[in-house]
A and B are shown apart, each in its own frame.
Chain A
Amino acid sequence: MAIVEELIPIKPKPSDAWDVERIRKDFPVLSQRVNGKPLIYLDNAASSQVPMMVIERGAQYIEQEHSNIHRGVHYLSMKATTAYEGAREKVKRFINAREAKECIFVRGATEGVNLVMHGYGRKFIGAGDEIIISAMEHHANIVPWQMLCEEKGAKLRVIPMNDAGELLMDEYDALLNEKTKFVAVTHVSNALGTINPIAEIIDRAHKYGVPVLIDGAQQAPHGRIDVQDLDCDFYTFSGHKMFAPTGSGVVYGKQRLLEQMNPFQGGGDMIRTVTFEKTTYADLPNKFEAGTPAIASQIGLGAAIDYLNIIGREKAAAYEHELLDYATQRLSAIEGVRIIGTAKEKLSVLSFTIENVHPHDIGTILDQQGIAIRAGHHCAQPVMQRFKIPATARASFAFYNTKTEVDELAEAIEKVIEVFS
Chain B
Amino acid sequence: MSELSELYQAVILDHNKKPRNFHKLENANRKADGYNPLCGDQLSVYLHVEGDQVQDVSFEGSGCAISKASASMMTQAVKGKTKVEAEMLFNEFHRMATGELDEENEPNHLGKLTIFAGVRDFPARVKCATLSWHTMHAALNEQQAVTTE
- Tell me the A residues contacting B by CB distance below 8 Å: 35, 356-361, 364-365, 368, 375-377, 381, 384, 390-391, 419-420
Contacts and interface: CB of A to CB of B under 8 A. Distances in A.
A304 to B, nearest CB: 28
Given A356-B17, A420-B16, 13 more contacts: A358-B63, A358-B64, A360-B66, A360-B125, A360-B128, A364-B122, A364-B125, A365-B4, A375-B39, A376-B39, A390-B40, A390-B62, A420-B13
The 7 A-B pairs of least Cβ separation, nearest first, read A358-B64, A360-B64, A368-B4, A361-B65, A390-B40, A361-B64, A377-B40
A364 B17 CA distance: 18
Nearest to B7: A364
A187 to B, nearest CB: 25
Interface residues of B, number: 22
Nearest to A420: B13
Interface in B112-146: 122, 124-125, 128
A47 B62 CA distance: 28
B41 interface: yes
Contacts of B3: 35, 368
Contacts of B64: 358-361
Contact of A420 (B4, B7, B65, B66): B65
A420 to B, nearest CB: 7
Given A376-B39, A419-B13, A361 B66 contact: yes
A357 to B, nearest CB: 7
A372 to B, nearest CB: 12
Contacts, number: 47
B8 interface: yes
A381 B39 CA distance: 10
A357 B13 CA distance: 10
B4 A376 contact: no
Contacts of B122: 364
Contact of A384 (B7, B17, B40, B63): B40
A358 B65 contact: yes
A419 B12 CA distance: 11
A368 B1 contact: yes
17 contacts: A35-B3, A356-B17, A358-B64, A360-B39, A360-B64, A360-B66, A361-B8, A365-B4, A368-B4, A375-B39, A376-B40, A377-B39, A377-B40, A381-B40, A390-B63, A419-B13, A420-B16
Contacts of B62: 390
A358 B13 CA distance: 12
Interface in B1-56: 1, 3-4, 7-8, 13, 16-17, 38-41
A5 to B, nearest CB: 42
A419 B7 CA distance: 12
Nearest to B38: A376
Given A358-B63, A420-B65, A365 B8 contact: yes
A362 B14 CA distance: 17
Contacts of B124: 364
B65 to A, nearest CB: 5
Contact of A390 (B4, B41, B66): B41
A35 B1 CA distance: 10
Contacts of A376: 38-40
Contacts of B17: 356, 420
Nearest to A377: B40
Contacts of B7: 364
Contacts of A365: 4, 8
Contacts of B65: 357-358, 361, 420
Contacts of B41: 390
Contacts of B128: 360
A371 B39 CA distance: 19
A58 to B, nearest CB: 29
Contacts of B125: 360, 364
A368 B39 CA distance: 19
B43 to A, nearest CB: 11
A384 B63 CA distance: 14
A102 B38 CA distance: 36
A357 B124 CA distance: 17
Nearest to B122: A364
Contacts of B68: 358
Contacts of A420: 13, 16-17, 65
Contacts of A358: 63-65, 68
Contacts of A368: 1, 3-4
Nearest to B16: A420
Nearest to B63: A358
Most chain B CB within 10 A, of A358, A359, A368, is at: A358
Indicate the member of B8, B17, B40, B122 with the most A CB atoms within 10 Å. Answer: B40
A391 B66 CA distance: 15
Nearest to B3: A368
Contacts of A357: 65
B90 to A, nearest CB: 23
